[in-house]
Amino acid sequence: MAVQSLQEFLAASKEKDASPEAFELENPHLLEVRVDGLVWAKAGAMVARKGNVKFTRQGVLEQGLGNLLKKAVSGEGMQLMKMEGEGRVYLADAGKKITLLRLAGEAIFVNGNDVLAIEAGIDNKITMMRRVAGMLSGGLFNVRLSGHGIVAITSHYQPLTLPVNAQTGPVFTDPNATVAWSGGLSPEIVADISLGTLFGRGSGESVQLKFAGDGWVVVQPYEEVVLQAKE
């Protein structure tokens, strides 16, 4: 890259105001949120802010008893923070690529670690897969997002969407590389010792997610092992 003058660098890296939306990508790895009321964001994701914005962690009553029980069983959880007031907040998550999706009544499932921010009109509910006991370290809990509004999800590098239908048959994915899938799919956890050297790491037994039906699944070119949260 050519050497830039200070003025060239400041001009090239300054914040954009190209969109009237509440969520705007400043670059593929940095999200600007225009807070005017309430927005939910991943705890610890703020890198800068302007204006009068108050931050509070998601409360016990707001999470719901079902979500709390699932967090207790899994030993992990999607820790959200509430951003309230009026101002601008800049979010990022370990340099991961950010994708903005507008939901118009649809439902999607997202890996809990890959939810960066959601507008107030989006309902979030933690879901857990069957056969959860001790099979995976980071890919067991996911979040069902539904309603009307914009959600920001993250992935390591450029994600790939694979169609799931009767013609192509089921799709099998590495849980640690699975980012999201359509709301009509219910993945199963399956194990295949013979594929232990191809899928997954750290175990001779391959644990995979099996997607069958009609929909889609998003994967990333990276196996992200999520450490258990410490309360």
For the chain, which residues make up each domain, given as ranges?
18-219
Average confidence score pLDDT of the chain: 83
What is the average per-residue pLDDT within 127-153? 74
**Is the whole model's pTM more than 0.85, yes or no?**
no
What separation in angstroms does the CA of 192 have from each of 95, 129, 135? 33, 18, 13
What are the start-end ranges of the E strands in the chain?
23-27, 30-42, 46-57, 80-91, 97-111, 115-119, 122-128, 141-155, 160-164, 171-173, 178-182, 188-192, 206-211, 215-219
Query: Is residue 68 predicted with pLDDT exceeding 50?
Result: no
Choose between 209 and 198: higher pLDDT: 209
In the prediction, which pLDDT does 148 show? 96
Does the domain made of 18-219 have the CATH classification 3.60.160.10? Answer: yes
What is the average per-residue pLDDT within 64-87? 63
Name which of 85, 86, 88, 80 is nearest 45 in CA terms. Answer: 80
Residues 115-132: tens digit of each pLDDT: 999 999 999 888 876 554
